[in-house]
Amino acid sequence: MACSLFSRHLTVPLCQSLRLSGPGYRHVSKTAAKTLDEFDYDGPSMKSKVPGPRSKELMRQLGEIQNVGAVHFFCNYEESRGNYLVDVDGNRMLDLYTQISSIPIGYNHPALMKVMSSPHNLSTFVNRPALGILPPENFPDRLNESLLSVAPRGMRHVQTMSCGSCSNENAFKSIFIWHRNKERGHKTPTQEEMTSCMVNQGPGCPDLSILSFMGGFHGRTMGCLATTHSKAIHKLDVPSFDWPIAPFPKLRYPLEEFVRENGQEEARCLEEVEDLIVKWRQKGKTVAGIVIEPIQAEGGDNHASPDFFKKLRNIARKHGCAFQVDEVQTGCGPTGKFWAHEHWDLDEPVDVVSFSKKMLTGGFFFRDELMPDKPYRIFNTWMGDPSKNVFLSAVLNVIKTERLLGEVTRSGAALLHGLIELQTQYPHLLNAARGLGTFCAIDACDDKTRDALIQKVRDKGVILGGCGDKSIRFRPSLVFKEYHVHLFLNIFNDVLAEHK
Ligand SMILES: Cc1ncc(COP(=O)(O)O)c(C=O)c1O
């Protein structure tokens, strides 16, 4: 039974980290001892290539119903636990991609199973309310104990939503509404505005814009798509807005070695941001907001320095634009801080922070000035799901009691160190290892090699993700420990050594 393995008490002291060359090369954890309430498996176990025969048969069946071009394999979620995802062919894989970075504390975590099995929570799971009109009695308490307990600095308002895209979509709307009220100097629209908006015309539908960055990803709904610039396939054939797109710095790694060059590149991009803001204002399409990811994820794990973000925040303030940080992928701890933008140490808080994925519920935090002025302006049927807030409270409790952010910092350092060693050993295959916490990536020499390495590693029992043109991204959950890092590095090393 799935639960029977949940509380195994294991102690596996592992010895000194050592480095050898070739396929026999073994990373061994120096400090990590497997202790406490481990509910993980001991390691990968492979029975077939992935996808195996059962997955292939299910792909055929599902393919008759919908497009399955993106399906990797089918999963057995009941048997999956901790850092391990089990597939329908009985393959058990160490998961460093975790459902596109959306599993906070591993599969079937006992704390979440407990939430599910409590009769106290039953009605929350069974009755999904239309939160905007009929919230449950405990909803303010639930928000206080979950989302607001981790509110970014300067924020005491949050609006829940269902996914990352609809969080960004509604955050953009809030920014536009705020901006128009600011321009009017009051909150009462004219009759002309009320009439013209009904037929998609100005002045009711104003020509405002959101500035985004080349390589950014903010979702696939219509408004978000106008700010997404990671891959053409996301955007092809869909009408879009004429909104400004600034260059995102193309930095050289390791960052410490290229401080001067990278500083110049960031200055170039910031100059372009200001030029675009001025140009779009002159075009009559004033920039109401700027949206940016702390690390461009989908677009290839592109980093920028705290100094870049500080200056960008100042530019936003100078030009009266709201500054939105999209923490859908970086939020909830994978960089070693709860919010990645905490690494920037900004003088002034940001205006909007959107989230989803590991937070289990979508939504956005916003500053006081962005509070919608009327009902139904930021609204949909569900506006989130209170059961997700219950799970989130349990997740936050585990993060706190098990000090998982410290764990992420330790595992992340070991992972990045191992990746740097591997790129030194296999410079013809790998380069540009980078990361913050376990939010790490490395580039392959080309996209074919990247795809082949991901496939080969998977056949040996480790799931990785791709991003950008040729990057491999690492997105483990927060219970990914140092000994999992070494397990992965050993397998990756074997694959690299054998790669032709
Ligand atoms: C930074 C960022 N923003 C927005 C989204 C969109 O979220 P969703 O896929 O939940 O709509 C994603 C998804 O990968 C993301 O990484």
Distance CA 66, CA 301 (A): 30
Distance of CA 356 from the midpoint of ligand 1 (Å): 7
Distance CA 202, CA 466 (A): 42
Neighbours of 380 (CB within 10 A): 15
The pLDDT, as a whole number, for residue 22 is: 58
Distance of CA 271 from the midpoint of ligand 1 (Å): 27
Q: Which of 401, 436, 462 is the last residue of a domain?
A: 401
DSSP 97-147: SHHHHT-SS-BT-HHHHHHHH-GGGHHHHH----TTT---TTHHHHHHHTG
In a domain, 468, yes or no: yes
Residues 310 and 368 in one domain: yes
Average pLDDT over residues 143-154: 97
Determine whether the shortest distance from the Cβ of 286 to ligand 1 is under 6 A. no
Task: Identify whether the C-beta of residue 73 lies closer than 8 Å to the C-beta of residue 46.
Answer: no
Residues 380 and 441 in one domain: no
Residues 366 and 409 in one domain: no
Of the pLDDT bands very low, low, confident and very high (cuts 50, 70, 90), residue 40 is confident
Determine whether the shortest distance from the Cβ of 163 to ligand 1 is under 6 A. yes
In a domain, 17, yes or no: no
Amino acid found at 270: L
Domain at 277, CATH number: 3.40.640.10
Determine whether the shortest distance from the Cβ of 301 to ligand 1 is under 6 A. no
Instruction: Give yes or no: 311 in active site.
Output: no
Average pLDDT over residues 151-162: 97
Residues 162 and 275 in one domain: yes
Distance of CA 328 from the midpoint of ligand 1 (Å): 6
Residues 275 and 389 in one domain: yes
The pLDDT, as a whole number, for residue 307 is: 98
Residues 6 or more apart whose CB falls under 8 angstroms from that of 144 comprise: none
Distance CA 306, CA 176 (A): 27
Of the pLDDT bands very low, low, confident and very high (cuts 50, 70, 90), residue 11 is very low
Residues 6 or more apart whose CB falls under 8 angstroms from that of 275 comprise: none
Determine whether the shortest distance from the Cβ of 384 to ligand 1 is under 6 A. no
Higher-scoring residue by pLDDT: 28, 364 = 364
Distance of CA 246 from the midpoint of ligand 1 (Å): 20
Distance of CA 225 from the midpoint of ligand 1 (Å): 11
Residues 105 and 126 in one domain: no
- Interval 452-477: pLDDT, tens: 999 999 999 999 999 999 999 999 99
CA distances, 264 to each of 176, 272, 274, 304 (Å) = 32, 13, 16, 12
Domain interval for residue 98: 53-109+404-498
Residue with the smallest CA separation from ligand 1 atom 9 is 164
Instruction: Give yes or no: 283 in active site.
Output: no
Query: Residue 247 pLDDT > 70, yes or no?
Result: yes
Of the pLDDT bands very low, low, confident and very high (cuts 50, 70, 90), residue 27 is low
Residues 300 and 185 in one domain: yes
In a domain, 35, yes or no: no
Of the pLDDT bands very low, low, confident and very high (cuts 50, 70, 90), residue 14 is very low
Residues 256 and 199 in one domain: yes
Average pLDDT over residues 137-153: 97
The pLDDT, as a whole number, for residue 339 is: 98
- For the ranges 19-33, 126-140, 204-218, the lowest mean pLDDT is seen at 19-33
> To which residue do tokens 């709860």 refer?
338
Residues 6 or more apart whose CB falls under 8 angstroms from that of 15 comprise: 28, 30
Q: Which of 369, 401, 433 is the last residue of a domain?
A: 401
Residues 303 and 334 in one domain: yes
Residue with the smallest CA separation from ligand 1 atom 16 is 329
Query: Residue 17 pLDDT > 70, yes or no?
Result: no
The single residue of 217, 323, 391, 474 carrying the catalytic annotation is 217
Q: Which atom of ligand 1 approaches the CA of 165 most closely?
A: 11
Residue 362's beta-bridge partner residues?
Answer: 161
- For the ranges 6-20, 41-55, 231-245, the lowest mean pLDDT is seen at 6-20
Instruction: Give yes or no: 361 in active site.
Output: no
Query: Residue 36 pLDDT > 80, yes or no?
Result: no
CA distances, 89 to each of 6, 20, 49, 103, 452 (Å) = 22, 34, 9, 22, 21
Residues 411 and 346 in one domain: no
The pLDDT, as a whole number, for residue 34 is: 46
In a domain, 34, yes or no: no
The single residue of 34, 337, 357, 481 carrying the catalytic annotation is 357
Amino acid found at 399: I
Determine whether the shortest distance from the Cβ of 327 to ligand 1 is under 6 A. no
Distance of CA 439 from the midpoint of ligand 1 (Å): 15
User: Quick check: helix, strand or coil at residue 196?
Assistant: helix
For all residues of the chain together, what is the average pLDDT? Answer: 93
Distance CA 473, CA 246 (A): 24
- Interval 168-198: pLDDT, tens: 999 999 999 999 999 999 989 999 999 999 9
CA distances, 473 to each of 97, 361, 485 (Å) = 8, 23, 14
Q: Which atom of ligand 1 approaches the CA of 362 most closely?
A: 10
Residues 66 and 170 in one domain: no
Residue with the smallest CA separation from ligand 1 atom 3 is 218
Q: Which atom of ligand 1 approaches the CA of 327 most closely?
A: 1
Query: Residue 16 pLDDT > 70, yes or no?
Result: no
Average pLDDT over residues 266-279: 98
Q: What percent of the chain has pLDDT over 70?
A: 92
Amino acid found at 29: S
Q: Strand 462-463 relative to strand 471-474: parallel, antiparallel, unpaired? A: unpaired
Q: Which atom of ligand 1 approaches the CA of 326 most closely?
A: 1
Residues 440 and 494 in one domain: yes
Instruction: Give yes or no: 258 in active site.
Output: no
Q: Which of 376, 401, 426 is the last residue of a domain?
A: 401
The dihedral built from the CA positions of residue 344, 348, 354 and 359, taken in this order, carries a sign that is: positive
